[in-house]
Amino acid sequence: MPLEFRFPDVGEGIDAGELIEWHVAVGETVREDDPLAEVQTDKATVTIPCPTSGRVLELRAGVGDTVAVGAVLAVFEPAESAAAPALAAAGAAPEAAVAQARPRALASPAVRRRAAELGLDLEQIRGSGPGGRIELGDLEPREQRVVPLRGVRRTIARTMTEAWRTIPHIIDYREVDATALLRRRHELREEATDESVRRALTITPLLLRIAVGALRHHPYVNASIDMEREQITLHSEYNIGVAIAAPQGLVVPVVKEANTKPVSQLALEVAALTAAAHEDRLRPDQVRGGTFTLNNFGSLGGWLGTPIIKPGEVANLGVGRLQERPVAVNGQVVVRPIVALAVSGDHRVLDGHTLAAFVSDVVARIESPSSVT
């Protein structure tokens, strides 16, 4: 009997996903747990495995379609049915019998993901690599064309549109002397006995620890607003999103309960989440539940920016690139490492003085970071 495989619940309350790529074709013979499809849920890509060994009879969705949990994703002829066709359901066998497996284009998973984002059929592309393998460069447009909005880019577009339409942003800009912060990072690296911790101790985990310390004294910054219920929730957990520029687009994995972790653990966790983001293997639960966002665009060379508040939060701390600048200290001009901060707040929850008090607390902790442990 044909087996209908339904899109499973991949966790964290997901009720639908966008089909990014099929790894099989109608008529192909597969084994149980072979990759079946790539599905995008929020900002995480999930590989759905084949539920059985046998032959693929039908694929019920196309690339770019939104598939609801519980909807039929594919139909299989299990291996035992394939061995005994007399047991197959009437009407299903003749159609399946004429299905032929087609050769798949030679391409890496990264190329397949990019082709899916661009809405390209790899079977129609001539590869320039060895043996006709399709390379990323082969996907580049040769002329102007319309590119479908798919995957992470579509999620980003929708989220940013909602954020800019519904959240009235106010922004507090500061320049801060980071001399003591860099000294503290050096001390922490010297104290670390694990080489992986030393490598992971960038400025970001120190700033994350500083942000958490300030948030504990400014509860309305670690909050969310529900306009329909007309209520503000002051969160007791400090789940800090860290904005990462991944190849597939901007993603914001979340460091859960950051207030309970020392800076060494935060450093390792941020490094692990960054690697997972760049390899497109973040789980759905790793991009959910944030209460505040840290955006270190200085790592990309940006000096100053405009952080956009993620819906469901009320603030975003943007950090620019460290630059040596001449500044006046005790009447003398000296060169100091200066970092620019841009902190966005939701004006429905935060007034200017509330946001300024939080930013001033962050500045004080950067200039005197001895409590960062």
Q: List active site positions.
A: 347, 351
Q: Are 36 and 49 a contacting pair, CB within 8 Å?
A: yes
Tokens 């950051």, residue?
258
Q: Are 45 and 281 a contacting pair, CB within 8 Å?
A: yes
Q: Are 51 and 3 a contacting pair, CB within 8 Å?
A: yes
- Positive or negative, the CA dihedral 210, 186, 298, 275 is negative
Summary count for the chain: helices (H), strands (E) = 9, 19
- 3-class secondary-structure state, position 307: coil
Q: In the Cβ-directed half-sphere of 39, how many Cα atoms lie within 13 Å?
A: 26
- Rounded Cα distance between 256 and 75, Å, is 39
- 3-class secondary-structure state, position 41: strand
Could you say which DSSP state residue 107 is in? B
Q: Residue 193: CB partners within 8 Å, gap ≥ 6?
A: none
- Rounded Cα distance between 106 and 132, Å, is 7
Full DSSP string of 169-204: EEEEEEEEE-HHHHHHHHHHHHH---HHHHHH--HH
CB atoms within 10 A of CB 271: 18
**Nearest residue to 208 (alpha-carbon basis) of 161, 249, 269:** 269
SS (H, E, C) 136-160: HHHHCCCCCCCCCCCHHHHHHHHHH
